[in-house]
Amino acid sequence: MVLLPCGSMKGLAVLGTVLLCVWAPVAMVYGLMAFTPTGSCEYSVSGVCAYGQLPMVLAAGGTALVWAVAVVLTWAGTRGRPRAVVPYAGIVLIFGLLFAAGRIAAG
């Protein structure tokens, strides 16, 4: 890992936070629209109804949780030195949640 001056780390953290705050709402809307059941899940145990609608919970709820935690961990209690890697890790986790939701829904 290349060590950057403190100002560069702040710039990376700001850029990562902006990217996270742009990507997370898009991912949440996608998760809600792609994995919300269009019919009754009363007798269905596969697709978007699998495991009690787990794909929708992962894609929408998990994304919201990762988004909030990543922003707080990036900036809270850092004394002017933000954790620049955290928002990028959050973006990767959100991609992972969407991939996992898609795999579960695919069956």
The pLDDT tens digits of the residues spanning 39-77 come to: 888 887 888 888 888 999 999 999 999 999 999 999 988
The answer on pLDDT for 1 being more than 50 is no
Six-digit token pair at 90? 């959050």
Task: Quote the pLDDT of residue 28.
Answer: 94
Residue range 90-107: mean pLDDT, rounded: 93
In angstroms, the CA 99 to CA 46 distance is: 17
In tens, the pLDDT along 2-25 reads 555 556 788 899 999 999 999 999
| pLDDT band at 38; cut points 50, 70, 90 | confident
Q: Of 46, 24, 47, 25, which is closest to residue 35 (Cα–Cα)?
A: 47
